[in-house]
A and B are shown apart, each in its own frame.
Chain A
């Protein structure tokens, strides 16, 4: 009886899904970066122009969206290190699965440390 392929580094299972997530978070961060460069450019126009665009960042909805942004950045950052280790460390591809769980653990710890603070700022005075 034929057995299903167990998946390879970039085909099937965690290796593939982390790759998909790396692409999706990368695109999201790219478009935020375009917006962020343009909003910061308003400091060159006038204090009023810059402060009014910053006021939108201080709204509840953007405060919550920021959690998604930081979550995407942290995943992309640590998974990027995982990808680099797969490429350059002799045992990288052997431990790519374990490294994914390490990435996830770091992500959970950092988000757990920051999200409550962000929620207090978002819903606080």
Chain B
């Protein structure tokens, strides 16, 4: 099969170049923010709890998300990490696929998965209800549940 190598210095369309430049800047800006936020995430959920990951259960999450701070924190982390990861995967797909239809199909799949998980994750954080646990008052005694 003949492999066509693009001219590296062939001009891109202005729109395409703008998009690639923005994606490139996004990777660096989001990357620096993610370094700090993910180290914070690992400290709070994996390192500092007395029994490490064994401390995490429904009550642990309910306790954290009782505070709007952690809801916002986890929401920002979800969006930034998933877009950063998806764009990174797009870079690999663009580098390693040879067939144009496959490249397009994989990239569309990546963004569909990202959109679905961002919607899912955002809904989970914003509509989370600790009252679905009948024993919720054992660990959140102040909480008022309807019904």
Question: A-side interface residues toward B, CB under 8 Å?
Answer: 23, 26-27, 29-30, 33-34, 37-38, 40-41, 43-44, 46-47, 50-51, 54, 57-58, 63, 66, 70, 73, 77-78, 80-81, 83-84, 87-88, 114, 117-118, 121-122, 124
CB-CB under 8 A from B42, the residues of chain A are: 70, 73
Cβ of B7 < 8 Å from any Cβ of A? no
Are B39 and A77 within 8 A (Cβ)?
Answer: yes
Whether the pair B128, A33 counts as a contact (CB closer than 8 A) is no
Contacts A30-B88, A41-B121; is A54 near B35 (CB within 8 Å)?
Answer: no
- Of B15-23, B56-64, B98-106, the stretch lying at the interface with chain A is B56-64
In the complex, whether B132 has a CB less than 8 A from a CB of chain A is yes
B51 CB contacts on chain A under 8 angstroms: 121, 124
The DSSP consensus for interface residues of chain B is helix
State which residues 29-78 of B face A: CB under 8 Å: 31-32, 34-35, 38-39, 42, 46-47, 51-54, 56-59, 61-62, 78
Scoring A50, A66, A88, A124 by chain B CB atoms within 10 A of each residue's CB, the highest score goes to A50
B145 interface residue (CB < 8 Å to A): no
B82 and A54 contacting across the interface, CB-CB below 8 Å: no
